[in-house]
Structure 1
């Protein structure tokens, strides 16, 4: 770890101290490191800033559901990137506004491209992509460029069905 000396004005230092106290940081250094990570996209890890590597992400956005053809366009964009989607949440905030939150996983460049495709649609009022790197060896890409598949290394008394098959189809295949 490197030691860096910064010169900042009193008001900014007071804001940093207030932020640190509000969030319970043990030191200014910890508070400043987290603020820098957030400013740099969630982490200082090269895989997040680069167009390579895999990540986990959340994409949240507000949109006007009355905007002509917007819901259809958003659905088309999402179906075009179905392999990145893990889960999504749709909330009707009021008569005109919807909030969607999508949990994504995949190549960082593809996740960013999907987010850009969604948030630049006319009628999307606000969008934010929060990226976290895939950090452990279990989730690093296999030979096909996709994250390694989830594997159990212990027996906990039940089986897990194949994610793309119904339970009855999974039992028949076994």
Structure 2
């Protein structure tokens, strides 16, 4: 892998804030932090374009007593067997559960799956966390 040096002009105050944050996060130097920012930018672009194979997690908290939420969650997961890789179920208390669904596939389809799961009645909160399969990332 060839490394390339490039210059960036930014306001001094912005650089000072950036340096404080990278120190807090434990980066060895600015280059490492900038590489991570560029990788994140590329991953977000993969999700926006929608053609790339992507990976992620759909995390949900729901009340298992609410209507047919458990049945609907399971039915939807079975509907997308090719995209849903695994799931983790945690009992938070006597009524609430945490479910983490690991997904992999075309970005547009993964977003659709997340929208369907997160919009179910009984799901109190949820979020799609998007990442990459790593195949195209340096």
The TM-score range, normalised by the shorter chain, is 0.7 to 0.9
Runs of 4+ residues over 6 Å off in structure 1: none
Aligned-pair Cα RMSD in Å: 2.8
User: Under a length normalisation based on structure 2, what TM-score does the superposition of the two structures give?
Assistant: 0.75
Confirm whether residue 24 of structure 1 aligns to residue 59 of structure 2: no
CA distance in 1: counterparts of 2:37 and 2:10, whole angstroms: 15
Q: Would the aligned equivalents of 2:54 and 2:107 in 1 still touch at CA under 8 Å?
A: yes
Rg bigger for which structure? 1
**Per-residue deviation, 1:100:** 0.7
1:64 is matched with 63
Paired residues, number: 131
Mapping of 1:7-22 within 5 angstroms?
Answer: 7=11, 13-14=16-17, 16-22=18-24
Kindly indicate whether structure 1 or structure 2 has the higher relative contact order, using CA contacts under 8 Å at least 6 residues apart: 2
Confirm whether residue 90 of structure 1 aligns to residue 89 of structure 2: yes
Q: Would the aligned equivalents of 1:43 and 1:132 in 2 still touch at CA under 8 Å?
A: no
Which secondary structure does the structure 2 equivalent of 1:122 belong to? coil
Gaps of 5+ in 2: none
User: Under a length normalisation based on structure 1, what TM-score does the superposition of the two structures give?
Assistant: 0.61
